[in-house]
Amino acid sequence: MFKLIIKDIAREILEELSNNNQKTFKIISNALDEIKDKGLKSSNIKKLVGFQKIFRKRIRRWRILFTIEGKEINIWLIAIKKDNRKDYKKWIRFIN
């Protein structure tokens, strides 16, 4: 089991979803629980090409971007993919 650290931007998105879209919030929460329990063995996870140690988990049209450091998983961003590979390049700026 891993420790999840949800960064500010991801936390804001989760709060907005919990207030405005309970169905999506529950789906994302379940995905975060799966990441916490299984790490990289979770379903629909890929390493981003061209970026070291950055992964994404796909849930329908949503993406969770995260990094792993030992037993800690940093959740940097939760966003909707807009059918464009450039989205990932825009999102990388949120990861320190």
What per-residue confidence (pLDDT) applies to 92?
Answer: 78
Token pair of 12 as six digits: 């804001």
**CA 66 vs CA 6, 19, 37, 42: distances in Å:** 9, 23, 15, 13
Q: Would you say how long the chain is, in residues?
A: 96
Percent helix, strand and coil across the chain, each to the nearest 5 = 45, 30, 25
The three-class DSSP label of residue 72 is strand
- Residue range 28-69, pLDDT digits in tens: 999 999 999 999 999 999 998 888 889 999 999 999 999 999
Whole-model pTM over 0.75: yes
Q: Please state the domain count of the chain.
A: 1
CATH, residue 59: 3.30.2310.20
The per-residue pLDDT of the chain, averaged, comes to: 90
Task: State the residue range of the domain holding 30.
Answer: 3-94
